[in-house]
Amino acid sequence: MSDLTIIPAAGKALPAPRKNRHFIGGAWVDSQTGDCSDRLSPAHGVVVSQSAKGTAAEAETAIAAARTAFDDGRWSRLSGKARAAILLKVADLIEANVERFALIETLESGKPITQSQGEIAGAADLWRYAAALARTVQGDSHNVLGEDMLAVVLKEPIGVVSIITPWNFPFWILSQKLPFALAAGCTCVIKPSEMTPSTTVMLCELLVEAGLPSGVVNVVLGFGQPVGEVMTAHPGVDMVTFTGSTAVGKLITKTAGETLKKVALELGGKNPQVIFPDADLDSAADAVTFGVYFNVGQCCNSSSRIIVHEDIAEDFVARVVALSRRVAFGDPLDSKTQVGAIVTPEHAARIDAAVKAAVAAGAEVVLGGAALAVPGLGLQFYQPTVIRGVTPEMEIARDEVFGPVLAVLTFRTLDEAIALANDASYGLSAGVWSENIHTCLAFARAAQAGTVWTNTWMDGFPEITFGGMKQSGQGREIGRYGMEEFLEVKSLVMRIGRTRAPWVNSP
């Protein structure tokens, strides 16, 4: 479409493909089979990384290494101060390597280079906050149980944690999990997505440099079958934390249930933004545009549906369409690009199928709705797409598209807006736009979502916990609650002296 803002190929030279190996017990190892998998750049169509393809054997060896490292106390029994010192070193090293990490993440994921840079640099703050938490783990004491009794509630690391991360924010989401698990004293086995493995492997280089003991963090590359399955089912694993699709999250829950290990899940979302007539419409339109196109819409927090008051719907949609035409789609290596490539051709096809299904159901595409050709880069891009005339029963209003596609619904009353917002199997995040604080608070308290933004969208901080309700997941990440996920509670009850009367009578 000629009226869109398109950034053609920048013509920058690409580096040679990166070689990735497993990191197990402090050593770099290949798969026993010698097999590798290639990752093609979504934007440039060339191999950008080649990674060892893990088997059950590598996963089991990594779990054994993490188990030994936990049980012998080389990390779990360190003081909070000692653990924090290493986490702070890792944060400094991340900041020193932002450009190097960001380049490979952009090449593997297709996201714009500026967003990769922001993701890597921002992740350092997660490590610093986790370091602060490492020194604040505390339980409770009970000193009113009688003069001869004293009890304390301890919080201890849960043990070996399997961390399974997705392709859309590979370094950021890893940093929402790993430093908090380490702050708690856990040891870990990580499986990054086979599509974006490199920054996870590169992080291990920084962990070694920072002085993390061997075996505390292990990485096994490869696919969900068999690596992820072993990491989920193995009895030597005490907890699984997973970010990805709701369908896979359900499978992990079933598998982990065989050993009753703890499971934390951050899954999908169909996140609404509700816009009232008294809202700052310019700010709301800009936030909606950002929310649906950020990371090509491949984001669990994407604001993929908006619920707009009927009185302003036509005007508001026109504002969003006008802004959408100005959003720069194209070469991720160009710093002017705001929206990059779709992660795989198969995923691009699923996005297009969802749009076509919406049209078949009676919705109207007012912008986009097709693949986008970027000069010099091919067709693994999708146009900014806005669909109106959406009704609550349509799939486009209920199912996660995970692409740059916005569904528009309308409402008349606050109660109707709340009902529409909650009419989904997901409950990750929601937003409300109004200058009336009473309206905002009423919506926020009634919304079934783990995060509710008021007159903003997707602002986040290491201190503020994140997670979903309903089929958007269970458990929480980041913030103090994020570290609590990795702690087990133990009650220690002590009798002071020999005051207990005997249960068995003396002869």
Known catalytic residues?
A: 266, 300
Please state, in angstroms and rounded to a whole number, the distance separating the CA atoms of residues 461 and 168: 19
Please state, in angstroms and rounded to a whole number, the distance separating the CA atoms of residues 358 and 163: 36
Nearest to 195, CA basis, from 228, 221, 234, 176: 221
Helix (H) or strand (E) holding 150: strand 149-157
Tally of helices (H runs) and strands (E runs) in the chain? 15, 25
Number of neighbours of residue 415 by Cβ within 10 angstroms: 11
Give yes or no for a contact between 23 and 217, defined as CB atoms under 8 angstroms apart: yes
CA dist 460 to 271, 431, 466, Å?
A: 16, 13, 9
Report helix, strand or coil for 375: coil
Q: Which residues of 428-445 are buried (b: 16+ CB within 10 A; e: fewer)?
A: bbbbbbbeeeebbebbbe
Residue identified by tokens 């009367």 is: 501
What is the DSSP track for 285-330? HHHHHHHHHGGGG-STT---EEEEETTTHHHHHHHHHHHHHHSEEE
Nearest to 366, CA basis, from 408, 400, 307, 330: 408
Q: Both tokens of residue 169? A: 């924010």
Backbone dihedral angles phi then psi of residue 228, each to the nearest 5 degrees: -60, -35
Strand order in the sheet with 140-142: 140-142, 149-157, 487-495
Nearest to 75, CA basis, from 199, 169, 216, 263: 216
Give yes or no for a contact between 114 and 128, defined as CB atoms under 8 angstroms apart: no
Give the largest Cα separation in the chain, rounded: 100
Nearest to 372, CA basis, from 409, 324, 416, 333: 324
Helix (H) or strand (E) holding 262: strand 262-266
